[in-house]
């Protein structure tokens, strides 16, 4: 069937996500409608380099009573209020076939990206971002020896539920495959069984050739707006070479990842000249015996902002009851991000 590019840019249609097996409704014609919804004032806040009241700053007492060391680089500690606990027994609850639960052991850690209270990733140097990449990789290696799934992620901004502005991320590890990981495992395995190739390697080759959704790239990595994106400025980060897990990244790949993150996240902030909120996370192959050659390491970035620094995309109504929907197409989003400068607006 012949492709019609105007169809994607002008008419309502559904796009398929081969990683999850789910669909998203795209309604590009709705970008022309007037906006009469919520409007908020942009709050421009410059944080101090050190906050004596912050429980993540060096030397300060944390909420749980422990005291941080006077750390000078990336710092990792076990969350004082973990959602997962290591000593949970594998107890099962089966009162009925419809009432089923089981215990899951795990652990949660916090990664303070920098001792600076006021520096988010795009305002850190490439060398400092490389330190964060190394911390991600080390946590992936260490916890991967004990747990089936290691979820490295960051919630940036108060509207993403971040409870402390000090730049930090988290690592949750557990002895189970979470829902989103299970979907990706199933669909990547099925694609590889059918084609003999990893799904995301084929997808990256296709996107680089088309180039319309690529935002930033270098010798080791590509950041693109996926064809099936749900969030307005959603990004997918992919290494150019075959890598299964974070801790398997080689030195040069870690350097180029730090460079790509610096350039991509600077564009995020420059888009609305604000600290751009998002939830991001890494997906790599599960940590268990077996053949996982169908996997390819990748990161998802899910930012909620749509029209400005204050106008957000909400998943309500149709999205909650039927399927995800978006107006701004991934191609339009990629084009807007691509044209933005590498220099952060605070430094311009």
The helix/strand/coil state of 10 is helix
Model confidence at 172: pLDDT above 60: yes
Q: Is 298 a catalytic residue?
A: no
CATH 3.10.20.600 for the 178-338 domain, yes or no:
no
Per CATH, 75-174 and 178-338 having the same topology is answered yes
**pTM for this predicted structure:** 0.95
What are the φ/ψ torsions at residue 175 (nearest 5 degrees)? -90, 50
Distance CA 138, CA 336 (A): 34
Residue 190: pLDDT band (50, 70, 90) is very high
Q: Where are the beta strands (DSSP E) in 127-274?
A: 149-156, 168-174, 214-217, 221-224, 235-239
Domain boundaries, the chain: 75-174, 178-338
User: 15 forms bridges with which residues in the sheet?
Assistant: 24
Residue 161: pLDDT band (50, 70, 90) is confident
Quote the pLDDT of residue 32: 65
What are the φ/ψ torsions at residue 108 (nearest 5 degrees)? -130, 135
- The single residue of 166, 168, 298, 300 carrying the catalytic annotation is 168
Closest by CA position to 204, among listed 133, 298, 75? 298
CATH 3.30.300.130 for the 75-174 domain, yes or no:
no
Quote the pLDDT of residue 119: 95
13-65: pLDDT as tens digits: 999 999 999 999 999 988 765 444 454 555 566 899 999 999 999 999 998 89
Q: Are 179 and 21 in contact (CB under 8 A)?
A: no
């Amino acid at each position: 069937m012949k492709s019609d590019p105007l169809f994607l840019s002008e008419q309502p249609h559904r796009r398929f996500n081969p990683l999850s097996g789910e669909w998203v409704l795209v309604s590009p014609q709705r970008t022309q409608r007037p906006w009469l919804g919520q409007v908020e004032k942009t709050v421009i806040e410059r944080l101090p380099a050190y906050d004596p009241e912050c429980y993540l700053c060096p030397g300060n007492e944390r909420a749980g009573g422990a005291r941080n060391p006077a750390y000078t680089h990336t710092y990792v500690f076990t969350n004082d209020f973990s959602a997962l606990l290591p000593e949970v027994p594998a107890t099962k609850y089966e009162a009925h076939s419809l009432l089923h639960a089981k215990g899951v052991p795990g652990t949660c850690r916090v990664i303070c990206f920098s001792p600076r209270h006021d520096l988010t990733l795009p305002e850190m140097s490439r060398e400092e971002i490389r330190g964060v990449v190394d911390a991600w990789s080390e946590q992936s290696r260490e916890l991967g020896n004990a747990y089936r799934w290691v979820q490295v992620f960051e919630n940036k901004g108060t509207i993403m539920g971040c409870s402390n502005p000090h730049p930090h991320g988290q690592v949750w590890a557990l002895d189970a495959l979470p829902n989103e990981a299970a979907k990706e495992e199933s669909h990547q395995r099925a694609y590889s069984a059918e084609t003999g190739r990893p799904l995301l390697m084929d997808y990256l080759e296709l996107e680089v050739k088309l180039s319309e959704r690529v935002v930033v790239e270098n010798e080791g990595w590509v950041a693109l707006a996926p064809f099936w994106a749900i969030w307005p400025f959603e990004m997918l980060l992919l290494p150019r070479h075959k890598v299964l897990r974070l801790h398997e990244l080689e030195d040069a790949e870690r350097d180029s990842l730090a460079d790509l993150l610096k350039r991509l996240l600077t564009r995020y902030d420059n888009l609305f000249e604000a600290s751009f909120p998002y939830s991001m996370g890494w997906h790599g192959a599960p940590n268990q015996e077996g053949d996982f050659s169908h996997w390819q390491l990748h990161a998802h970035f899910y930012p909620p902002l749509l029209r400005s620094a204050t106008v957000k995309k909400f998943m309500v109504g149709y999205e909650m009851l039927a399927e995800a929907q978006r107006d701004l197409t991934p191609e339009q989003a990629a084009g807007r991000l691509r044209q933005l400068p590498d220099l952060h607006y605070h430094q311009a």
